[in-house]
């Protein structure tokens, strides 16, 4: 069993103006997967990239673009998305406001 609050969970920087918190994963008893909170700030983006694991996303706040398979999908609070393994993708913040989303990946994807 595990219960906490997001403000009490340590995070780490990912790239320019990106931040990642591993909310629930193997350390909390969920073997094989990690639920992360990703925050992008100040109109920045992740690199366009691929990897051999899928993403499951739930967009919480801010405004952004999810690029998948060379198509752009506007996202803000509420949408969900599944990014299959080996699909080129990118997460882009469109404003100065924090762009936050839940991202569930395999344990391998959080290393």
Model confidence over 70-87: pLDDT tens digits? 999 999 999 999 999 999
State the pTM of this model: 0.93
Torsion of CA 75, 81, 108, 15, to 10 degrees: -10
- Residues 18-45, mean pLDDT to the nearest whole number: 95
Mean pLDDT, the chain, as a whole number?
95
Q: Check: CATH 3.40.50.300 for 18-110?
A: no
Per-residue buried b or exposed e for 8-41, using 16+ beta carbons within 10 Å of the residue's own CB: eeeeeeeeebbbbbbbbbeeeeeeebbbbbbbbb
- Domain residue limits, the chain: 18-110
Residue 35 tokens, joined: 């639920």
């Amino acid at each position: 069993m595990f219960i906490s609050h997001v403000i009490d969970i340590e995070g780490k920087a990912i790239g320019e103006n990106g931040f990642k918190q591993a909310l629930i994963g193997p350390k909390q008893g969920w073997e094989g997967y990690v639920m992360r909170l990703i925050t992008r700030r100040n109109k920045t983006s992740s690199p366009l990239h691929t990897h051999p694991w899928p993403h499951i996303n739930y967009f919480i706040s801010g405004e952004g673009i999810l690029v998948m398979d060379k198509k752009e999908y506007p996202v803000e609070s509420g949408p969900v998305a599944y990014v299959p393994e080996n699909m080129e993708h990118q997460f882009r913040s469109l404003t100065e406001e924090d762009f936050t989303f839940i991202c569930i990946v395999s344990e391998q994807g959080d290393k």
